[in-house]
Amino acid sequence: MQHKGKVLVFLFTALIILYGVSAAFWDTTYTALDVFMNALHHVDEYYVEPPDLNKVQQGAMRGLIEALDPYSAFLTKEQIQALDSRKDKTADVGVVLSKRANIICVVSTERNGPAAAAGMRPGDYLTAIDGANIEDKSILEVGSLLRGDPGSKVKAAVFRGAEIKPTEIEMVRRNEEPPAVGSRMLDGRIGLLEIPSLASVTIEQARVKLKTLVSAGAQKLILDLRGCADGKADYGADLANLFLRSGVVYSIRGHGGEKLEEISADPEKFVTDLPMVVMINGSTAGPAEIAAGALKGNGRALLVGEKSFGMGCYQKRISLKSGAVLVLSTAKFYTPDGKMIENDETLRETGIAPNVESPDQDRLNDLLVDAYFDGQADAVKYKQLQEKLNQEQLDKALEVLNKGLAVPRRAA
């Protein structure tokens, strides 16, 4: 087939694809198609060499889908086969990933996990794994590359802060071991419940330790969800349900904002209505945001700390005839008061905002300046800064509780 003929076939294929994808946006379909077709016309007329049509088509689809949100992706048949070939690689490094500015970033690192132990930090941007560039990889692919056999090593290149060159981090993979729930009694008969992970076994641990705190005489509670970013939506709902006797926990909305499902509290799962504060930070994500949003939205607790990350959508895999796969976000999670947890239009609106910010921006800037000029090694600076942030947030949570600012006892 001559070049012109190939281009016509490609244009026709692209037209069909774009029509199907943009059917949900009928009012703008024709404008979008006009721009796309005009661009292809110029490629046909002026590009210096005959284009590789398969490559162009795959690139167009990848760009189209990945522009929707961080978790949607277009995977070719070869990419899917590569993922399937690594399904038995179960050992991991303990990170939760997302994308910001279309670059893979670290949302959270598992406490005492391989990544954290090796020096990886929330907020790091990944650029390469084992020397291979990952700038065009989806979150699914990068997660797969980080997994491997237990005891094997993997190297990641990351950018952080104002650094001008990447930092190489070598990690030793291990089978996932969800960190245990922590609990302790603080002065003033305040029970502290720490949830570092929302894996399946964590909820029962949380239930037992919460009941133990109540039995030991706790009069107020602090629920620490800082750094908690893994698990399933159901687990976040189950955690919130420990403190909610009734009410909506979260809802799921699909195309056009249609409410697909509404999850309500089960009174049989309820444990306590003690006054409480929930601590969150920028690494609180996913199921933990569902829990925090439910407690805030029902007026059950005040949130103290930093704005959460903003991760709250559901993906569906759609197989195409070519063997390629669309990973498409088809629904989003909402808090009881109608807050969309993940807003992909603007970072300003994404995530759950605390009732009481700690530290505020001025104080955070002071802490960053102090760390920068303290003359110690970078790893030491980072550890000390995190310790100060953690302690100041805990102190603020205690202040809120002790001043009676927390939500009063109620059977919500």
Q: What is the pLDDT of residues 289-323, one digit of tens each?
A: 999 999 999 999 999 999 999 999 999 999 999 89
CA atoms within 13 A on the CB side of 411: 6
pLDDT, one tens digit per residue, over 391-407 is: 999 999 999 998 876 65
CA distance linking residue 62 with residue 354, whole number of Å: 36
Amino acid identity at 273: D
Instruction: Give dist(CA 67, CA 73) in Å, integer.
Output: 9
Domain end: 29, 54, 75, which one? 75
Q: With the C-alpha atoms ordered 260, 266, 271, 274, is the resulting torsion angle positive or negative? A: positive
- The pTM of the full predicted model, rounded to 2 decimals, is 0.88
* CATH number for the domain that contains residue 106: 2.30.42.10
Distance in angstroms between the alpha carbons of the first and the last residue of the chain: 70
Residues 71 and 86 occupy one common structural domain: no
For position 352, what pLDDT does the model report?
97
pLDDT in tens, 184-199: 999 999 999 999 999 8
Nearest to 99 by CA among 311, 351, 289: 311
The domain total for the chain is 3
Q: If pLDDT is split at 50, 70 and 90, which confidence band does 179 have?
A: confident
Last residue of a domain, one of 50, 75, 100: 75
Q: Is the pLDDT of residue 19 over 50?
A: no
Q: Please report, for the domain that includes residue 274, its CATH number.
A: 3.90.226.10
> What's the Cα-to-Cα distance from 172 to each of 140, 248, 367, rounded to whole Å?
20, 42, 32
Q: Does 106 map to a domain? A: yes
- pLDDT at position 366, please? 79
Confidence (pLDDT) at 174: 94
For residue 357, the model assigns a pLDDT of: 96
Tell me the residue range of the domain where 273 lies: 182-317+329-402
Say yes or no: 149 and 58 in one domain: no
Q: What percent of the chain has pLDDT over 90?
A: 65
- 57-102 pLDDT, tens digit per residue, is 777 778 888 888 999 999 999 999 999 998 888 899 999 999 998 8
Is residue 14 domain-resident?
Answer: yes
Q: What DSSP character marks residue 181?
A: P
Could you tell me which residue, 377 or 216, shows the higher pLDDT?
Answer: 216
Residue pLDDT, tens place only, 338-364 = 999 999 888 888 999 999 999 988 888
pLDDT at residue 201, as a whole number? 76
- Percentage of the chain modeled with pLDDT above 70: 89
- 259 and 352 in one domain? yes
Pick from 172, 192, 218: which residue ends a domain? 172
CA distance 236 to 200: 10
Structural domain contains residue 408: no
Q: Helix axis angle, 361-372 relative to 378-402, nearest 10°?
A: 150
Q: Does 409 or 379 have the greater pLDDT score? A: 379
Instruction: Give the strand pairing for 125-129 and 153-159.
Output: antiparallel
pLDDT higher than threshold 50 for residue 2: no
pLDDT of residue 22: 46
pLDDT score recorded for residue 412 = 39
Continuous H helices in 147-232: 202-215
Distances, alpha carbon 234 to alpha carbons 148, 208, 305, in Å: 28, 18, 24
Mean pLDDT rounded to a whole number for the chain? 87
> Measured between alpha carbons, how far is residue 17 from residues 32, 38, 357 in Å?
12, 16, 46
pLDDT for the residue 306: 97
pLDDT at residue 365, as a whole number: 81
Closest CA to 54 of 22, 20, 9, 18: 9
